[in-house]
Protein backbone atom coordinates (compact mmCIF):
# COMPACT_ATOMS: atom_id res chain seq x y z
CA UNK A 1 0.00 0.00 0.00
CA UNK A 2 1.08 3.59 -0.61
CA UNK A 3 0.11 6.28 1.87
CA UNK A 4 -0.50 9.92 1.02
CA UNK A 5 -0.58 12.31 3.95
CA UNK A 6 -2.04 15.79 3.56
CA UNK A 7 -3.69 18.61 5.45
CA UNK A 8 -0.77 20.22 7.21
CA UNK A 9 -0.35 23.95 7.51
CA UNK A 10 0.26 26.92 9.75
CA UNK A 11 -2.13 27.49 12.64
CA UNK A 12 -2.13 29.60 15.78
CA UNK A 13 -1.91 28.02 19.20
CA UNK A 14 -5.35 26.86 20.30
CA UNK A 15 -6.45 26.21 16.74
CA UNK A 16 -7.33 23.01 14.91
CA UNK A 17 -6.18 21.04 11.90
CA UNK A 18 -7.25 17.78 10.35
CA UNK A 19 -4.69 15.59 8.63
CA UNK A 20 -5.64 12.90 6.12
CA UNK A 21 -3.87 9.69 5.22
CA UNK A 22 -5.18 8.17 2.00
CA UNK A 23 -4.36 4.64 0.98
CA UNK A 24 -3.49 3.86 -2.63
CA UNK A 25 -3.14 0.40 -4.06
CA UNK A 26 -4.72 -1.51 -1.19
CA UNK A 27 -7.53 -1.15 1.29
CA UNK A 28 -6.63 0.31 4.67
CA UNK A 29 -9.33 -1.77 6.35
CA UNK A 30 -6.78 -4.52 7.06
CA UNK A 31 -4.01 -2.27 8.37
CA UNK A 32 -3.27 -0.67 11.70
CA UNK A 33 -2.55 2.98 10.94
CA UNK A 34 -0.22 4.98 13.11
CA UNK A 35 0.52 8.67 13.23
CA UNK A 36 4.00 9.85 14.14
CA UNK A 37 5.75 13.18 14.09
CA UNK A 38 9.25 14.52 13.86
CA UNK A 39 9.83 17.78 15.74
CA UNK A 40 12.02 20.50 14.23
CA UNK A 41 15.72 19.89 14.63
CA UNK A 42 15.28 16.12 14.77
CA UNK A 43 14.86 15.44 11.07
CA UNK A 44 17.98 13.26 11.02
CA UNK A 45 16.73 10.95 13.74
CA UNK A 46 15.37 7.63 12.54
CA UNK A 47 12.93 7.21 15.42
CA UNK A 48 9.79 9.26 15.10
CA UNK A 49 7.65 10.39 17.99
CA UNK A 50 4.48 8.41 18.52
CA UNK A 51 1.20 10.33 18.26
CA UNK A 52 -1.47 7.62 18.08
CA UNK A 53 -2.83 4.61 16.26
CA UNK A 54 -6.11 3.14 15.11
CA UNK A 55 -6.66 -0.59 14.80
CA UNK A 56 -7.53 -2.23 11.50
CA UNK A 57 -11.18 -2.50 12.61
CA UNK A 58 -11.31 1.13 13.62
CA UNK A 59 -12.69 0.12 17.00
CA UNK A 60 -9.56 0.79 19.04
CA UNK A 61 -7.43 3.90 19.25
CA UNK A 62 -4.35 4.65 21.32
CA UNK A 63 -2.72 8.00 21.95
CA UNK A 64 0.44 9.43 23.36
CA UNK A 65 -0.11 11.12 26.72
CA UNK A 66 0.96 14.43 25.20
CA UNK A 67 -2.00 14.48 22.78
CA UNK A 68 -4.64 12.52 24.68
CA UNK A 69 -7.87 14.47 24.89
CA UNK A 70 -6.83 16.85 22.10
CA UNK A 71 -6.26 14.56 19.10
CA UNK A 72 -8.67 12.04 17.61
CA UNK A 73 -7.94 9.37 15.00
CA UNK A 74 -10.75 8.04 12.84
CA UNK A 75 -11.10 5.81 9.82
CA UNK A 76 -13.39 6.05 6.79
CA UNK A 77 -13.17 2.74 4.95
CA UNK A 78 -15.42 3.97 2.14
CA UNK A 79 -12.88 6.69 1.36
CA UNK A 80 -9.91 4.48 2.26
CA UNK A 81 -8.67 7.30 4.46
CA UNK A 82 -7.60 7.77 8.05
CA UNK A 83 -7.89 11.15 9.75
CA UNK A 84 -6.03 12.84 12.57
CA UNK A 85 -8.19 15.57 14.06
CA UNK A 86 -6.00 17.91 16.11
CA UNK A 87 -7.60 20.41 18.48
CA UNK A 88 -6.19 22.88 20.98
CA UNK A 89 -2.87 22.83 19.19
CA UNK A 90 0.27 23.89 21.02
CA UNK A 91 3.61 25.14 19.67
CA UNK A 92 5.19 21.87 20.81
CA UNK A 93 2.92 20.03 18.36
CA UNK A 94 4.97 21.54 15.53
CA UNK A 95 6.66 19.00 13.30
CA UNK A 96 6.38 16.85 10.23
CA UNK A 97 3.53 14.39 10.65
CA UNK A 98 3.66 10.95 9.09
CA UNK A 99 1.12 8.20 8.76
CA UNK A 100 2.28 4.61 8.70
CA UNK A 101 0.68 1.22 8.15
CA UNK A 102 1.24 -2.17 9.71
CA UNK A 103 -0.33 -5.51 8.73
CA UNK A 104 0.27 -7.86 11.66
CA UNK A 105 -2.08 -6.16 14.11
CA UNK A 106 0.59 -4.35 16.11
CA UNK A 107 -0.83 -1.03 17.31
CA UNK A 108 1.94 0.22 19.52
CA UNK A 109 4.30 3.15 19.56
CA UNK A 110 7.42 1.57 18.05
CA UNK A 111 7.84 3.28 14.69
CA UNK A 112 10.25 0.62 13.48
CA UNK A 113 7.47 -1.96 13.45
CA UNK A 114 5.51 -0.07 10.78
CA UNK A 115 6.24 -1.17 7.24
CA UNK A 116 4.68 1.50 5.04
CA UNK A 117 5.09 5.26 5.39
CA UNK A 118 3.58 8.31 3.80
CA UNK A 119 5.67 11.28 2.74
CA UNK A 120 4.91 13.52 5.71
CA UNK A 121 3.04 16.79 6.03
CA UNK A 122 4.29 19.87 7.89
CA UNK A 123 2.33 21.23 10.84
CA UNK A 124 3.45 24.54 12.33
CA UNK A 125 1.78 25.96 15.42
CA UNK A 126 2.64 29.56 16.20
CA UNK A 127 2.47 30.99 19.70
pLDDT for the residue numbered 105: 87
Q: Which residues of the chain have pLDDT under 70?
A: 44, 46
pLDDT for the residue numbered 41: 83
Beta carbons of 17 and 121 less than 8 angstroms apart: no
Rounded distance, CA 33 to CA 30, Å? 9
pLDDT for the residue numbered 43: 73
Measured from the Cβ of residue 114, the count of other Cβ atoms closer than 10 Å reads 22
Q: Please spell the DSSP secondary structure of 69-122, one letter per residue.
A: TTEEEEEETTTTEEEEEE-S--GGG-EEEEEEEESSS--SS-GGG--EE---EE
Dihedral-angle region of residue 93 (phi above 0 means left; psi in -120 to 50 means alpha; beta otherwise): alpha
Amino acid sequence: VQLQASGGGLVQAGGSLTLSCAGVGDTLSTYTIGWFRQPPGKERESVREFVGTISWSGRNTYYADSVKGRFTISKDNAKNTVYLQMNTLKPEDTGVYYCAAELTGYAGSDSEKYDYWGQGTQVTVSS
